[in-house]
Chain A
Amino acid sequence: MIKKISMNAIQSLWLPFALVAAWWVFSANSEDPFFPPLSVIWDQFVFLWVFDNVPIHVVPSLINLFSGFSIGVLIGLVGGVIIGTNQGLARYIEPSVDFIRSIPPVATVPIFIMIFGLSYEMRVAAIAFSAIFPTMLAVIQGMHSNNPTLLDTAKVFRLTPFQTLVRVRIPAAGPIIFSGIQVSLQVAFVVTIASELLGSGFGIGAFTLIATDTFMITDAWTGVILMGTLGFLVNVIFNLVERRVLRWYLASKKLS
Chain B
Amino acid sequence: MSTGKVIVSAESVVMDYQTPTGIKHVLSDISFSLLEGEFASIVGPSGVGKTTLLRLLTGLMKPTSGVIRINGQEVNSPPPGLAVVLQDYTRSLMPWLTVEKNISLPLKRLGLSKTEIAETIELVLTEVGLSGNQKNYPWQLSGGMQQRVAIARAIAVRPQLLIMDEPFASVDAQTRFDLEDLVLKVRDDFKITTAMVTHDIDEAVYLSDKVVVLYGSPANVKEIVKVDLPYPRNQVASRGREEFAELRTKIYAQVRGLQ
Residues of chain A whose beta carbon lies under 8 Å from any beta carbon of chain B:
147, 149-150, 152-153, 155-159, 167-168, 171-172, 174, 248-249, 251-252, 255
CB < 8 Å neighbour of B109 from A158, A171, A172, A251: A158
| In the bound complex, CA of A158 to CA of B96 (Å) | 20
Residue B84 lies at the interface, judged by CB distance under 8 Å to chain A: yes
Q: Which of chain B's residues have a CB closer than 8 A to the CB of A157?
A: 78, 83, 105-106, 109, 157
Q: Which of chain B's residues have a CB closer than 8 A to the CB of A158?
A: 78, 80, 82, 106, 109
Can you list 28 A-B contacts (CB < 8 A)?
A: A149-B88, A149-B92, A150-B92, A150-B94, A152-B58, A152-B86, A153-B92, A155-B60, A155-B78, A156-B58, A156-B82, A156-B83, A157-B83, A157-B105, A157-B106, A159-B106, A168-B94, A171-B94, A172-B94, A172-B96, A248-B96, A248-B139, A251-B137, A251-B139, A251-B140, A252-B95, A252-B137, A252-B138
Q: Which of chain A's residues have a CB closer than 8 A to the CB of B83?
A: 156-157
Q: Which of chain A's residues have a CB closer than 8 A to the CB of B135?
A: none
Q: Which of chain B's residues have a CB closer than 8 A to the CB of A172?
A: 94, 96
Residue B91 lies at the interface, judged by CB distance under 8 Å to chain A: yes
| In the bound complex, CA of A67 to CA of B251 (Å) | 68
CB < 8 Å neighbour of A249 from B91, B92, B96, B105: B96
| In the bound complex, CA of A156 to CA of B139 (Å) | 23
CB < 8 Å neighbour of B139 from A150, A167, A174, A255: A255
Using a CB-CB cutoff of 8 Å, which residues 84-138 of chain B contact chain A?
84, 86, 88, 91-92, 94-96, 105-106, 109, 137-138
Q: Which of chain B's residues have a CB closer than 8 A to the CB of A152?
A: 58, 60, 84, 86, 92
| In the bound complex, CA of A40 to CA of B37 (Å) | 85
Give the 7 A-B residue pairs with the shortest CB-CB distance, closest first: A252-B139, A157-B106, A149-B91, A248-B96, A153-B92, A171-B96, A156-B84
Q: Which of chain B's residues have a CB closer than 8 A to the CB of A156?
A: 58-60, 78, 82-84, 163
Nearest neighbor of A245 in chain B, beta-carbon distance:
B96
Q: Which of chain B's residues have a CB closer than 8 A to the CB of A249?
A: 95-96
Residues of chain B whose beta carbon lies under 8 Å from any beta carbon of chain A:
58-60, 78, 80, 82-84, 86, 88, 91-92, 94-96, 105-106, 109, 137-140, 157, 163
Q: Which of chain B's residues have a CB closer than 8 A to the CB of A255?
A: 139
| Known contacts A156-B60, A248-B96, A252-B95, then 12 further A-B pairs from the complex at CB < 8 Å, ordered by chain A residue | A149-B86, A150-B92, A153-B84, A156-B78, A156-B83, A157-B157, A159-B106, A171-B94, A174-B96, A248-B137, A248-B139, A251-B139
Distance to closest chain A CB from B256 (angstroms): 29
| In the bound complex, CA of A159 to CA of B109 (Å) | 8
Distance to closest chain B CB from A249 (angstroms): 7
Tell me if B82 and A167 are in contact (CB < 8 A). no
Q: Which of chain A's residues have a CB closer than 8 A to the CB of B78?
A: 155-158
Tell me if B105 and A150 are in contact (CB < 8 A). no
Distance to closest chain B CB from A169 (angstroms): 11
| In the bound complex, CA of A174 to CA of B91 (Å) | 15
| In the bound complex, CA of A7 to CA of B89 (Å) | 38
Q: Which of chain A's residues have a CB closer than 8 A to the CB of B88?
A: 149
| In the bound complex, CA of A172 to CA of B97 (Å) | 11
Given the contacts A153-B92, A155-B60, A167 and B105 also touching, CB distance less than 8 Å? yes
Distance to closest chain A CB from B84 (angstroms): 5
Q: Which of chain A's residues have a CB closer than 8 A to the CB of B157?
A: 157
| In the bound complex, CA of A159 to CA of B163 (Å) | 17
Q: Which of chain A's residues have a CB closer than 8 A to the CB of B84?
A: 152-153, 156
| In the bound complex, CA of A248 to CA of B92 (Å) | 15
Distance to closest chain A CB from B110 (angstroms): 10
| In the bound complex, CA of A41 to CA of B243 (Å) | 90
Distance to closest chain A CB from B77 (angstroms): 8
| In the bound complex, CA of A152 to CA of B157 (Å) | 17
| In the bound complex, CA of A252 to CA of B88 (Å) | 15
| In the bound complex, CA of A167 to CA of B106 (Å) | 11
| In the bound complex, CA of A158 to CA of B160 (Å) | 14
Nearest neighbor of B58 in chain A, beta-carbon distance:
A156
